[in-house]
Amino acid sequence: MDNEVAIPGGIPPVEELLESAVVVRLPMRTRFRGLLAREVMIFAGPAGWGEFGAFVEYDDAEAANWLRAGIEAAYLGPLPAVRSTVTVNATVPAVPADQVAEVLSRYPGARTAKVKVAEPGQHLDDDVERVAAARAVVDRVRVDANGKWSVAQAITALRAIGPVEYAEQPCATVEELAQVRRAVDVPIAADESIRKAHDPLRVVAADAADVAIVKVAPLGGMRATLATAEAIGLPVVVSSALDSAVGMAAGVAAAAALPRLDLACGLGTGSLFTADVGPSFLPDDGRVHPRWFDAGSSLISVDDQFVAPPDRDRWWRARLRRCHALLQRNGQDT
């Protein structure tokens, strides 16, 4: 899909981005997505701060979308909001069941929980117990397997787990999602099959999903996210990509700008960090409020202990140069 949005004057020079760039390593409360700390680069532009935080294992072609999203934030700023708050879900990592209530206590007022399942090294019984523990605290539970189950495993697991709001990316491929959707009564949500796909609309053509999970950074920005959501035509959940407060600001801005938003969004993950680049988006009565880190914001103050070491700083700067070159080569203005 061609969702690029032009910046007046074109993509900014790479040296301009690097001049204000800071690489941070943000510690996390518990292991999430295999990480105990999250590295991201932030940089400033005329409209505010942007984030470049593609996961380190992603290749440059995929990471370039994340850079495009950061440039959009820093140079174009947020979209006009149509709502003043965004309802969010709690996020429960693959912790033991007896720790679930403690995790949920960090999301005051949240009535929906997304529970991670299919963690390598764990068993289905762990998933069943974790989900049951979440059900004891909140009204609605959704599960996320990050594509780690086979079709047979997904069908067995979802029947054992029982009713949930939806199962997010139970299997890796669109075809597998369609098979699972036909075999179970649980609604299916597509995440990686949208944000990592060359054609995000395949999930619709294959009748493979009931819900679309959209993430601003992987899709290339707030405006691209809204265009993708409109084209897909399914109920939408805007989620974070384990963003810092800067990246989260763009996610919340996109959610606040959607014409329709009926489901809780995955934009409360600031609770997973013990430190952030600015005030985290922490839920209040299960909601977060849109706000923006403008270019002169004094809120962007990174403690020296959270600045990434020199070798990681060099790695990120080299990566930004490569991704910037890709955006220029592909003629993408953001």
In tens, the pLDDT along 145-155 reads: 999 999 999 99
Which residues does the annotation mark as catalytic?
Answer: 116, 215
Both tokens of 18, joined, read 């690097």
Q: What are 22-57's pLDDT values in tens digits?
A: 999 999 887 777 788 999 999 999 999 999 999 999
Q: Same structural domain for residues 62 and 94?
A: no
Residues 82 and 258 sit within 8 Å (Cβ to Cβ): yes
Both tokens of 152, joined, read 């047979």
Helix, strand, coil in percent for the chain, rounding step 5: 40, 20, 45
Predicted local distance difference test score (pLDDT) of residue 203: 92
Number of domains the chain contains: 2
283-306 burial: b if 16+ Cβ within 10 Å, else e: beebbbebbbbebeeeebebeeeb
Nearest to 12 by CA among 47, 40, 59, 53: 47
Nearest to 220 by CA among 61, 26, 38, 35: 61
Q: Which residues are annotated as a binding site for Mg(2+)?
A: 144, 168, 191
Residues 36 and 261 sit within 8 Å (Cβ to Cβ): no
Q: Same structural domain for residues 69 and 129?
A: no
State the Cα–Cα distance between residues 185 and 206, nearest whole angstrom: 17
Residues 145 and 155 sit within 8 Å (Cβ to Cβ): no
Please, which residues have CB within 8 angstroms of residue 59's CB and are 6 or more apart in sequence?
A: none
Residues 249 and 73 sit within 8 Å (Cβ to Cβ): yes
Q: Same structural domain for residues 51 and 181?
A: no
Q: Same structural domain for residues 172 and 307?
A: no
Predicted local distance difference test score (pLDDT) of residue 30: 79
Q: Same structural domain for residues 130 and 278?
A: yes
Predicted local distance difference test score (pLDDT) of residue 35: 82
Q: What are 12-27's pLDDT values in tens digits?
A: 999 999 999 999 999 9
Q: What are phi and psi of 191, to 5 degrees?
A: -120, -80
Low-confidence ranges of the chain (pLDDT < 50): 2, 299
Nearest to 7 by CA among 214, 220, 296: 220
Residues spanned by the domain of 308: 14-77+297-331
Q: Same structural domain for residues 148 and 203?
A: yes
Predicted local distance difference test score (pLDDT) of residue 59: 96
Q: Which residues are annotated as a binding site?
A: 144, 168, 191
Pairing of strands 112-116, 140-144: parallel
Q: Same structural domain for residues 156 and 99?
A: yes
Q: Same structural domain for residues 91 and 70?
A: no
Kindly list the strands in the beta sheet with 22-32, ordered across the sheet, starting from the edge strand earlier in the chain: 22-32, 35-45, 48-52
In a domain, 9, yes or no: no
- Mapped onto helix, strand or coil, the DSSP state of residue 92 is strand
